Amino acid sequence: MGHPAIDAALGGGIAAGRLHEIFARDVQDASSAAGFAAMLARLIGGALLWVRMGKEERIGGKLYAPGLCEIGLDPSTAIFGVLPDAVSVLRAGIDIARCPDVGVALIELWKTPRELDQVASRRLAVAAENAGTTVLLLRIDAEPSPSVAQTRWSVTAAPSAPLPANAPGHATFDVELLRQRGRAQAGRWRVEWDRERARFVEPGLRDHAAPLSGDRVPDAFGGSLAPGAGPRRQSGG
């Protein structure tokens, strides 16, 4: 991921071809968690397929293309799907995860739908491992529940460091590694996103950084929420 302490805790970086969970425990942190998920997708690379529910899109807003481009995602390698309910999202997510041509399957679910049980979690994990697709399960306004995810993260917005001339600071998050399979390490870190190098860094340590325009957290949403040798691992540049 580019951040030495996080990469050390993960044993060398985020594991590709695995299931990872990213939580925003309330709606106010939805943009931060979605931004973090999009940054992970950029870091991991490959084609991105992002599926979400229509009702929640009406509540939270549509995905905001300029904000995603600001993160460094290439729109030509991304497909976004809006489906009617959690069942449809999970079914599509499993099908996407089974496709070896997909780099990242990003599955966005709000709250805790009853369809998201350990059986569904296992299916996602198996599909990811068999195809080599990285599955990011984005959970908005939800609390962690039993799963077989490789890692589980909680993300909140953090104050960004001021830039000259009062320019808006770079995207800054407090990220907490809640658990990971096979390793005891957890931890909490404050990080910035370095778009040019597609990696996370400690605040204030970016080289040749240009200020972001607009909000201090890149806005992933355009609506009311705006302000077998083991897995491959992505540690950033």
> Average pLDDT, whole number, for the chain?
88
User: Mean pLDDT lowest for which of 31-35, 57-61, 111-115, 119-123?
Assistant: 57-61
| CATH superfamily label, 4-222 | P-loop containing nucleotide triphosphate hydrolases (3.40.50.300)
Q: What is the dihedral of CA 185, 190, 192, 193, to 10 degrees?
A: 30
Biggest alpha carbon–alpha carbon distance for the chain: 53
Q: Could you tell me the pLDDT band of residue 171, with boundaries at 50, 70 and 90?
A: confident
Q: Return the pLDDT at 36.
A: 97
Alpha helices in the chain (DSSP H): 4-10, 30-44, 54-60, 65-71, 86-97, 118-131
Domain regions of the chain by residue span: 4-222
In the 8-state DSSP scheme, what is residue 137? E
Angle between helices 118-131 and 86-97 (to 10 degrees): 30
